[in-house]
Amino acid sequence: MPLFGKKAKKDVSTEPPSYANATSAQGNPQPYNRDAMQPPTTAGNERSKNGVPEQTHARPQPPSSPKAPPRPKLSFQCQQAHGSPVGIISGFTNVKELYAKIAECYDFKPSDILFCTLNSHKVDMTKLLGGQIGLEDFIFVHLKGQPKEIDITKTEDALGLTITDNGNGYAFIKRIKENSTMDKMPQVKVGDHLEKINSTSLIGCRHFEVAKMLKEIPKGTTFTLRIVEPLKSGFSVIDMPYSKKKSGKVGSGKKTLRFRANGPAVVEAEPDDVSSVAVDKINGLLESFMGINDTELAQNIWEIGNKQENPHDFAMAVDASDLEAFGFADDFIFDLWGAINDAKTGRLNKQGFSENF
């Protein structure tokens, strides 16, 4: 006599079996017995105190996505401009973090740094570290030196200063116009940090704010300007050797580390000729209209304008961006668009372009 009855046909339904409706061999409904539905004991099963096997079911884990390769850790050689051992700086994404890393390397405060130059220890404003660093550039750090207080009488509407800032709260002189009021003050030099006008501290002010304060001083007024010169070395006229050979051009590598106001720094290709000449022209307009020089600001203006088709759209895009805080006048916006459009259409080129201030 067979031990089991005739096998029922296999249920091919896509619905899962309903254990609550299980029946006995006599056809009577039986209650769902959880233990009876467990699979046979295996080496991985655990037994309860009653000896009834219980299967431990691990939840299926979603397939793990492949890990992105780690970002390369960029490092840069660094040296104090007046002389020091060479340090290695890495792990920064903006200028403030860069200054903090340099200060940590040499054990001084970030506020001691006036500005940095690339590939030259001299106070050379053409080599000033701005919004980007070539991946093979060498960083020279210029620290605070001797403070000076000078009484100045404003004999003309403009003092003849072009001002920039270091991105970390210090505005300083980038250019002095020939035969201007400030050009006749031998104590005032390019690279000097503008620390105070009379009793008003300028620390923490952006370049355009300092330029506005100086412009608003009435003609004929005598005021006291406190400035701080970069720390100098007795051997400052001697070129300092360093390990990597450079062409002398800022950002001379094929790629640069670009700082951004919002978000981390990114590695980008070196700007092409059209972008470079457009940024130079925009920087010239910033200097003429506002008395400031800021390559990063000029780069941001170019990137916004390059995406627009007409001056109206450009003005709207500027108002919708962080640049709205500068309060550019309509005439200045129109001149900016003229420079941008000339660059886009090829009417500006390095051969035919020169800055006139």
Statement: residue 71 has pLDDT above 50: no
State which of 15-29, 207-221, 226-240, 340-354 shows the largest mean pLDDT: 207-221
Q: How far apart (Å, rounded) are the C-alpha atoms in residues 118 and 138? A: 6
Strands 139-153 and 75-80: parallel
The domains of the chain are located at 75-230, 271-349
Asked whether residue 2 carries a pLDDT value surpassing 60, the answer given is: no
Average pLDDT over every residue of 331-341: 90
Choices 3.40.50.740, 1.10.3720.10, 3.90.1150.10, 2.30.42.10: CATH for 75-230: 2.30.42.10
Q: Which residue has the tokens 């304008």?
A: 305
Mean pLDDT of the chain: 77
pLDDT of 128 above 50: yes
Q: Count CB-CB contacts under 10 A for residue 286.
A: 26
Higher pLDDT, 239 or 215: 215
CA distance 286 to 280: 10
User: Taking the CB of residue 268, how many other CB atoms lie within 10 A of it?
Assistant: 12
Could you read off the pLDDT of 131-164 as tens digits, one per residue? 778 888 999 999 999 999 999 999 999 999 999 9
Where residue 50 falls among pLDDT bands split at 50, 70, 90? low
Mean pLDDT of 121-139: 88
245-271 mean pLDDT = 57
DSSP code of 208?
A: H
% pLDDT > 70, the chain: 66
pLDDT, one tens digit per residue, over 205-218 is 999 999 999 999 99
pLDDT at 111: 94
- Specify the pLDDT at position 25: 44
Torsion of CA 143, 144, 150, 152, to 10 degrees: 50
The predicted structure's pLDDT at residue 299 = 85
> Is pLDDT at 107 greater than 90 in this prediction?
yes
Q: Among residues 315, 312, 311, which one has the least CA distance to residue 326?
A: 315
- Closest C-alpha to 88, from 69, 101, 71, 70: 101
Q: What is the per-residue pLDDT across 159-194, written as a single tens digit (0 to 9) for each? A: 999 999 988 899 999 999 999 999 999 999 999 999
SS3 39: coil
